[in-house]
Amino acid sequence: MKIDASLHAVLEKLSGEDWEEVEVYHKRGRSRTVRFAPQGTVTTFSQEEGWAVRAGDRRRSFFYAAAGEPRSDVAWPEADGRGVRLASAKPVPPWTPPSDLDVPLIGESETRGLFEALARQLAEELPGARLILGELADGSSESQLVSSREVEASVRQRTALLYLEAAGPGRGSRSIALRLAERDARRFNPRTLGRRLADLLTVTEKGTTPVRDRGEFVLAPAVVVSLLSALSDLWLGPGAEEKTAHLTDRRGKIASPAFTLIDDGRLSGGVLEAPVDGEGQPTREQVLVEEGIFRQPLLAWWQSTSDPSRVSGCCRRPGWRDLPRPGATHLYLRPETTASVASLIENLSRGYYLIATEGAPQVAVADNRFALPVCGFAIEGGRPTGSITGAWLVGSVSGLLNGIVTTARDLSFLPVSSGMVGSPSLLIKGLELRQRP
């Protein structure tokens, strides 16, 4: 995608005014949102375009953002910010844009068909269950960036966000919700989603709460993702090494050999896959924890000046009004390619298969403890014997990380505020279920 001449015009104008550091960013996007409910279907379509400038020197800086196309005839704001330093241009490894970037946004009738098929599947799996709300936001965007550090970058992206809310049979039944993301909305499978909603509703309607119990646990991806997100300070940013120090054993490990944690901004098939980040820096795979050994935190270019090999393009920029901020893009626990979820459950002599969370985790890394509200199934002899709800999975953070026995192959990603976080199901020992933390 060729850089628009208007960005260079703004860059030349500000550089001619003796600003040492100048960055010009431009983004345009469009989206269609379809909201499906018993009262009817509502569709909205939006388009947005805007641009932003960061400029300054070692002593001062300013940030300017406006809607529309970049323009050089602007009265810039007063430079009253701190000094600014921008990233220098770096070689970007070859990258082939995914073919589905060119696929049209999903249409209204197609989206309605998705929700109707999902509602039918849910009713078949659990008679009387209802899809009470479905919302699909499907969008695409193009962004460009140039800077006085010779950075020139362009990125195209597609993201489809799906929200589902369902209720069980009968009046007064509890409702459950799911939030999912795909690059192409057509990847959402109504049969799979209907079964998943039915499982969650069955658990919440019929589950009992164990008073206190130990055993082996199989944690579904949604449960692990919640924990990985809550523990993100352990592997993000320059202070991560100090935060993990008290979790490190004599062998230099913070987790079991089954724990390998990776962030990859150009993960093939990933929702946020891109060749560069929000500052035009090349993205790449970065191994943060390898078979239990902490290798390094995820660092942006300005967070490590001593060793360039430790940094990665990890600054995200959700919109043109936003300044780039470092964070995970596709953070995930590496799966074991040979083990199925069914095999993990079948090998449980006595334990629990936890399929979802029922609230936010409570994590205190400094005190080495965590608690997470969960629901799922009790397992004996590899078979479910009943469902549980209202329970809390509790233990030490070190026990959580070191108790992982193995992972399955069902790697799944879920959207969180910081990006996409993924995990396979995993088998873990040494934790406990309680009625309250």
Q: What is the pLDDT of residues 30-88, one digit of tens each?
A: 999 999 998 899 999 999 999 999 999 999 999 999 999 999 999 999 999 899 999 99
> At how many degrees (to 10) do helices 190-206 and 108-125 cross?
40
pLDDT grade for 244, boundaries at 50, 70 and 90: confident
Query: Is 218 found in the same domain as 200?
Result: no
Query: Is 164 found in the same domain as 27?
Result: yes
The dihedral built from the CA positions of residue 106, 107, 111 and 113, taken in this order, carries a sign that is negative
Mean pLDDT computed over 257-279: 96
Query: Is 339 found in the same domain as 271?
Result: yes
The whole model's pTM is what? 0.94
Query: Is 170 found in the same domain as 50?
Result: yes
In the chain, the percentage of residues whose pLDDT exceeds 90 is 84
In total, how many domains does the chain have? 2
Contact status, residue 300 vs residue 325, Cβ threshold 8 Å: no
- Burial class, 336, CB count within 10 angstroms (exposed 0-12 / middle 13-18 / buried 19+): middle
308: pLDDT strictly greater than 90 = no
Contact status, residue 83 vs residue 58, Cβ threshold 8 Å: yes
Query: Is 267 found in the same domain as 161?
Result: no
Q: Could you give the CA distance from residue 405 to residue 409 in angstroms, rounded to a whole number? A: 14
Query: Is 284 found in the same domain as 224?
Result: yes
1: pLDDT strictly greater than 70 = no
DSSP assigned state of 418: T
Q: Could you give the CA distance from residue 8 to residue 147 in angstroms, rounded to a whole number? A: 9
What is the reported pLDDT for 281?
96
Query: Is 142 found in the same domain as 244?
Result: no
Query: Is 396 found in the same domain as 343?
Result: yes
Among candidate residues 206, 232, 249, the one where a domain is terminated: 206
Whose structure tokens read 């969008």?
Answer: 139
Mean pLDDT estimate for the chain: 93
For residue 38, the one-letter residue type is: P
pLDDT, greater one: 279 or 240: 279
pLDDT, greater one: 247 or 170: 247
Copy the structure tokens of residue 289: 């924890």
Query: Is 174 found in the same domain as 66?
Result: yes
Contact status, residue 32 vs residue 106, Cβ threshold 8 Å: yes
pLDDT grade for 305, boundaries at 50, 70 and 90: low
pLDDT grade for 170, boundaries at 50, 70 and 90: confident
pLDDT grade for 360, boundaries at 50, 70 and 90: very high
H-type alpha helices, 294-406: 341-346, 397-402
Copy the structure tokens of residue 207: 């589950």
Residues 6 or more apart whose Cβ sits within 8 Å of residue 39: none
Task: Report the residue count for the chain.
Answer: 437
Query: Is 165 found in the same domain as 138?
Result: yes
16: pLDDT strictly greater than 70 = yes
Among candidate residues 181, 206, 231, the one where a domain is terminated: 206
Residue 163 pairs in a beta bridge with 135, 179
Query: Is 231 found in the same domain as 195?
Result: no
Query: Is 221 found in the same domain as 120?
Result: no
Q: Could you give the CA distance from residue 400 to residue 396 in angstroms, rounded to a whole number? A: 6
What is the reported pLDDT for 337?
83
Among candidate residues 174, 206, 238, the one where a domain is terminated: 206
pLDDT digits (tens, 9 = 90+) for 364-396: 998 999 999 999 999 999 999 999 999 999 999
Residues 6 or more apart whose Cβ sits within 8 Å of residue 407: 258, 333, 334, 335, 336, 339, 423, 424, 425, 426, 427
Q: What is the CATH number of the domain that holds 41?
A: 3.30.2290.10
Q: Could you give the CA distance from residue 11 to residue 24 in angstroms, rounded to a whole number? A: 7
Q: How far is CA 158 from CA 66, 140, 193, 296, in A?
A: 23, 4, 21, 30
pLDDT, greater one: 337 or 109: 109
Q: Residue 73 sits in which domain range?
A: 5-206
What is the reported pLDDT for 241?
80
- Burial class, 48, CB count within 10 angstroms (exposed 0-12 / middle 13-18 / buried 19+): middle
What is the reported pLDDT for 47?
96
Q: Could you give the CA distance from residue 78 to residue 80 in angstroms, rounded to a whole number? A: 6
Q: How far apart are the first and last CA of the chain?
A: 53
Cα 16 to the chain's mean position, in Å?
A: 41
pLDDT grade for 205, boundaries at 50, 70 and 90: confident
pLDDT grade for 246, boundaries at 50, 70 and 90: confident
